[in-house]
Structure 1
Amino acid sequence: MEIVIKLSQFLLSLSLLIILHELGHFIPAKLFKTRVEKFYLFFDIKYSLLKKKIGETEYGIGWLPLGGYVKISGMIDESMDKEQMALPPQPWEFRSKPAWQRLIIMLGGVTVNFILAFVIYIGMTFFYGDFYLSNSELKDGIAVTSEVGEHMGFKTGDKILSIDGEKMTRFNDIPNKILFAKTVLVERNGAQQNIVLPVDLIDKLLKGEKKPFIDWREPFMVGKVAADSSVNNAVLKPKDIIKSLNGIPTKYADQVVAIAKENKNKKLDAIVLRVEKEVPVSIYINKEGKLGIYPASLGIESLEKLGLYKFSKQEYGFFASFPIGIERGKNQLFGYGKQLKAIFTPSTGAYKGVGGFKAIFDIFPKTWSWEVFWNITALLSIMLGVMNLLPIPALDGGHVMFLIYEMITGKKPSDKFMENAQMVGFVLLIGLLLFANGNDIYKAIFHK
């Protein structure tokens, strides 16, 4: 059932983005009286699943879910219709239209993508508001939850003050900000310290553990006791929270771990919180300095109930949602621009994290959540818009590049040149597609 839910979200999001992107080309083409021969969701190589001709346009659904297209008469595109291009230009064809009209037609798809993303963010702001943890709530600093975080230079208990000079007010923003940052200012043991992040930070994260490198600090709550830890299995129960160990108060899980490491192969007195009552127990520490316990996350409600953190929720009215939603969209757009820059900078190692359709499929949750669905769809819409603007022949950005050249110089590239450019673009796109999906396969085999 989980796979069905993930697949349903993936296909719904993909279909919505493709249809609206192609509508962005279709509508201005029709307004400028340009003939549109086909409008397809997915590719109909050799045959289509569904098709129906209405007027001069054939609408259909293809069998290959790698995108979609509109076939515009008199345009050198993925159809590579050389026979049509060999005939004299007709008034209804794309090539017969003024350059400014062709430019609007080509920019229509990405324009719709960006508008869609901003509309979604505005809608999400209105319906869901903002839910976040203020950075000031982490009075005892962050928890470093992986070796990668330690290699960056962070230590549990650090208070993150600013990133690249920008003051951090929300903890939720910090992990993503760090990914593309150069320096982080922290407060450690009452003194400020500047941490210089490694250039290949993203590469280190890709090679490291698949979990956050920093998080808020939580108490040690028992999730499951290992089968070979018979003593602890007899005295501890799931959801027990370790309040003290060896007579030392343990507000956070990292304090429990530290005490255990210093008391290998010993039995220690402890106090656990069990159903709101403090219960004395004895916990055995094995020869490796571990408790033999898998800890569990408390969840937001429990953290608030224990008085550790107070999470903030801010709601917005209809008109107030517009500037906030637009700001969220702008931040995502600039953030994705930074990601692309990192990907095309080999020293960062970010290119190793490029994924294909499986990577996109994997970001959808196993349970249905409209909030998560719309958030992912908005991000994918921005990604689709930016990628299509890349000046690669066969993409919208490639066509736009040649049209701008024509408008500036007054010289139109020949059909033969455009055909060759289109073929070069196809080769580049196929190469990128193979690389991205090859990365998916590599990670599936070697990074389980």
Structure 2
Amino acid sequence: METFLIRLVQFFMSISLLVLLHEGGHVFFAKLFGVRVEKFFVFFDVKIGKWAGKLFAWKPKNSDTEYGMGWLPLGGYCKIAGMIDESMDTEQMKQPPQPWEFRTKPAWQRLLIMIGGVTVNFILALFIYSMIMFHWGNTYYRVADMSMGMEFNAQAKSMGFRDHDIMIGTDRGPFKEFMNVNGDFFRQIAKAKRVDVMRNGKKVSIKMPGDLDMLAMIKSYPIFAVPYIPATVDSVFAGSAAAKAGIKKGDRIVAVNGKEVATWSDFDYHKTVLGDELKAAKTSADSMKIRNVVLVVARQGKSATDTLHMTLAPDLTVGVAQTSLRNYYKPVTETYGFFESFPAGVKYGWNILRGYVSNFQYLFSSDGAKSLGGFGSIGSLFPPYWDWHDFWMMTAFLSIILAFMNILPIPALDGGHVLFLLYEMITRRKPSEKFMIYAEYAGITILLLLLIVANLNDILRWLGYM
């Protein structure tokens, strides 16, 4: 429960900040050009019956703008006078145009008002990344330094990879880090014609097709490649199934129910298989039988192995902390001075955006649609502990996603309005108000369907059907 609350607080802090600044970008340009902003809300104040839906609201003296917060955290909005938006205020549009309305302003001013939100989000993301580079630097594990190499799945092995191969690079350049937010490591392999590895002290080149499905590489289980991390216990949680069975720090798990285990990836795979069997169990006796497992462990400093019987928790929790990259390798940290941090942050942010745009193509595949996530998926991206570095990294990443998604040419999004404004600027003709109203309805419908699919996916994952 505590970890859920920590993630929830981080999620709301991050989303509230991003929505506030996004809508603030629209308001800034609107007020700059003398356009009246009637409402400026973080989250939507959807009315239910007689309840106005406002958590709080206030209107400063001599101001045309009501500021507040709604109860529905699906974004935010600013109601700009004389504009067809999500408020669907068609009555206002029937009145004679006023000089302080959006519709009476030149197209270039209306364009700046519409791109104000995404502009702020892009600048914010780059600024946050720059400050992260200045304060913490860029820390990562270099792929070529992973002396135990990688562990590969069946697909990778069929192409010529072998466990413990140390990844050097491809015909597209050397590898940098194993896996960052936008998956450069897998994208580089997917597009490569050749991958170079070190095997038993010798360089080996593996021929590649150059058109692998990156999404399939990551979504397969086991995934295409992971760092080879021995299944050595880093620590044991008091009162856990592992503690009761006698597992100790430094023990290495070598078998589960008679099946060989070499790495934590192997162990997690066997746990997943047990989880599938547990879902199919029909009686409590069947469930208990599945939860009773036999582990073979190699004790630290001893040549003999011990066989241990363990009853896993109902959710198959073992109760150990796994060793990770930090137990075996020293990370590389690139540090930057204040002025150096800005080009470094811009470069890092641009790389994140480029990777996200590249990954967007997978949305239109069946696997891509299944990968859509709603609020639960977004919230789970935050760590289950409080860490300012991770919080700001996620906030910057979400800011880029918010900007990119909003600039898509879908009616009801900023990008839809931009598309119609560009059409007007090129043809010198405005789309009719009737057309804009129908387009807004169509856009809202599309967004609602995407929202339903994304959150339904979260529910299905939580229930174990995806």
Residue identity opposite 1:120 in structure 2? I
- Among residues 150, 173, 193, which one is paired with 1:166 in the alignment? 173
- 2:383 aligned with 1:362: no
Q: Answer yes or no: is 1:371 the counterpart of 2:400.
A: no
TM-score by length of 1: 0.81
- Structure 2 partner of 1:263: none
Q: One-letter code of the match for 1:41?
A: V
Q: Could you give the per-residue CA deviations for residues 98-124 of structure 1, whole angstroms, max 9, x where no partner exists?
A: 000000000000000100000000000
SS in 2 for 1:68: strand
Aligned to 2:205: 192
Mapped contact 1:43–1:61 kept (Cα < 8 A): yes
**In the aligned structure 1, how far is the partner of 2:216 from the partner of 2:335?**
38
Contact 2:144 2:168 in 1 (8 A): no
Task: Map Cα deviations across residues 213-271 of structure 1 (whole Å, 9 max, x no partner).
Answer: 5333334424679x9999x967x6332369x9xxxxxxx9459x9xxxxxxxxxx997x
Distance 1:152 1:11, change over 3 A: farther
Contact 1:220-1:295 at 8 Å conserved across structures: no
Alpha-carbon shift at residue 366 of structure 1 (Å)? 1.3
CA distances 1:415-437 after superposition (whole Å, capped 9, x unpaired): 11111111111111112112211
- Structure 2: runs of 5 or more not aligned: 255-260, 267-295, 310-317
- The code of the aligned residue for 2:340 comes to A
> What are the superposed Cα offsets for residues 162-192 of structure 1, whole Å, 9 maximum, x if unpaired?
2462221333459912443333603264321
Partner residue of 1:138 out of 146, 163, 174 = 146
Following the alignment from structure 1 to structure 2, what is the Cα–Cα distance between the partners of residues 340 and 429?
Answer: 16
1:371 partner amino acid: H
Q: Residue in 1 aligned with 2:81?
A: 73
Q: Distance in 2 between matches of 1:112 and 1:105?
A: 11
Equivalent in 206, 216, 219 of residue 227 of structure 2: 216
Residue 64 of structure 1: aligned partner: 72
Question: Is contact 1:168-1:174 (8 Å) kept?
Answer: no
Structure 1 residue 20, shift from structure 2 partner: 0.2
Of residues 321, 341, 349 in structure 1, which corresponds to 2:361?
Answer: 341
CA 1:198 to 1:352, structure 2 compared with 1: closer, same or farther past 3 Å? farther
The percentage of aligned residue pairs carrying the same residue is 43
Q: Which amino acid aligns with 1:193?
A: I
Distance 2:15 2:444 in 1: 21
In structure 1, which of residues 336, 339, 353 is the aligned counterpart of residue 371 of structure 2? 353
Alignment of 1:405-416 (within 5 A): 405-416=423-434
Matched residues in 1 for 2:155 and 2:3: separation? Answer: 31
Per the TM alignment, residue 355 of structure 1 is displaced from its structure 2 partner at its CA by 0.9
The alpha-carbon deviation at position 397 of structure 1 amounts to 0.4
* Residue 124 to residue 11, structure 1, CA distance change in 2 (3 Å): same
Amino acid at match of 1:187: V
Decide which of 50, 57, 62 is 2:56's aligned counterpart. 50
Residue 324 of structure 1 corresponds to which residue in structure 2?
344
Instruction: Provide the alpha-carbon RMSD of the alignment.
Output: 3.5
For residues 447 and 82 of structure 1, what CA distance do their matches in structure 2 show? 43
Aligned equivalents of 1:229 and 1:358: distance in 2?
Answer: 30
Find the counterpart in structure 1 of residue 463 from structure 2. 445
CA, structure 1 residues 447+196, in 2 after alignment: closer, same or farther (shift >3 Å)?
Answer: farther
Residues 412 and 443 of structure 2 are in contact (CA less than 8 Å); yes or no, is this contact kept in structure 1?
Answer: yes
Q: How does 1:413-424 map to 2 (within 5 A)?
A: 413-424=431-442
Q: Partner residue of 1:262?
A: none
Query: Is 1:152–1:197's contact at 8 Å kept on the other side of the alignment?
Result: no
**Which amino acid is the alignment partner of residue 328 of structure 1?**
Y
Work out the CA distance in 2 between the residues paired with 1:403 and 1:213: 45
Secondary structure at the counterpart of residue 392 of structure 1:
coil
8 Å contact 2:137–2:333 — kept in the other structure?
Answer: yes
- Quick check: 1:110–1:384 contact (8 Å CA) kept in 2? yes
Select the residue among 302, 315, 325 that pairs with 2:335.
315
Which residue does 1:402 correspond to in 2? 420
SS of equivalent residue, structure 1 residue 372: helix
Counterparts of 1:280 and 1:233 in 2: how far apart (Å)? 20
Select which of 288, 294, 297 maps to 2:322.
Answer: 297
Query: Partner residue of 1:261?
Result: none
Count of aligned pairs:
408
The alpha-carbon distance between structure 1 residues 174 and 405, as it changes in their structure 2 partners (threshold 3 A), is: closer
User: 2:15 matched to 1:14?
Assistant: yes
Q: Are the structure 2 counterparts of residues 42 and 91 from structure 1 closer, same or farther at C-alpha, using a change threshold of 3 Å? A: same
Distance 2:229 2:297 in 1: 21
Distance 1:199 1:269 in 2: 38
CA contact (8 A) 1:269 1:280 kept: no
CA distance in 1, matches of 2:218, 2:142: 25
- Is 1:238 aligned with 2:246? no
TM-score by length of 2: 0.78
- Three-state SS of the structure 2 residue aligned to 1:92 is coil
Unmatched runs of 5 consecutive residues or more in structure 1: 245-251, 258-267, 287-292, 304-308
Cα distance change on mapping 1:300 and 1:158 into 2, 3 Å:
closer
1:157 to 137, 151, 164: 164
Aligned match for 1:202, one of 215, 235, 241? 215
2:229 aligned partner, one-letter code: E
SS state at 1:313 partner: strand
Partners in 1 of 2:227 and 2:406 — Cα distance?
38
Could you say what secondary structure the match of 1:75 adopts? coil
